[in-house]
Copies of this chain bind each other. A is one copy, B any other.
């Protein structure tokens, strides 16, 4: 097999093949890309900005199931309808949209496309599992620490390994199933302990990646 460790190469080739079939659509912050319950006739790929895939609960609370960054695919469903909504987070977001029917035709015509799409779905599954692992941590501090490490690995680095958080504390809270206040307190805490450094409200650099990943944050204040 000549497939490399990660899938930039195959990813590229599929999107090249898929490109002629894509419509690109722009969204402003908060606009819906797809809606929970709606007939699922498209798959999507984020080509600019940031989006969130979320579910609204009966009690009105929102849970973010998947944070979508540049080049992430989404829109896969087991049934006929979307089981979640997706909306733009950043002011300027754009998605490439593919007709599911059309893609099924492409699959019929070329099994290589099928393989590639399977890999895309595995990538989405892997994100989901990572999210699950982060949420499964015990303390809020661990959840936040782990979240920061995970997202900073997916984000482009500025100088000094600095990244810019693409979401608000509220979004982080909705990702982790904790309150925004607790997110804020955990950040302050992780900073005070020297695990991370904050630059303004959105700038972040991870100082002690290993400890954050392993969750060994000495307790007590």
- The reply on A59 being an interface residue by CB < 8 A is yes
Query: Which residues A116-168 have CB closer than 8 A to chain B?
Result: 117-119, 121-126, 128-129, 131-133, 135-138
Contact A59 B216 (CB under 8 A): yes
- The reply on A55 being an interface residue by CB < 8 A is yes
A76: B residues at CB distance < 8 A? 122, 125
Copies of this chain in the oligomer: 2
- The reply on A77 being an interface residue by CB < 8 A is yes
Q: Specify which of B65, B110, B129, B215 is in contact with A133 (CB 8 Å cutoff).
A: B65
The 3 A-B pairs at the shortest CB distance, nearest first, are namely A114-B114, A78-B126, A58-B214
Using a CB–CB cutoff of 8 Å, the interface residues on chain A facing chain B are: 5-7, 55, 57-59, 61, 63, 65, 76-80, 83-84, 104, 107-112, 114-115, 117-119, 121-126, 128-129, 131-133, 135-138, 177, 213-216
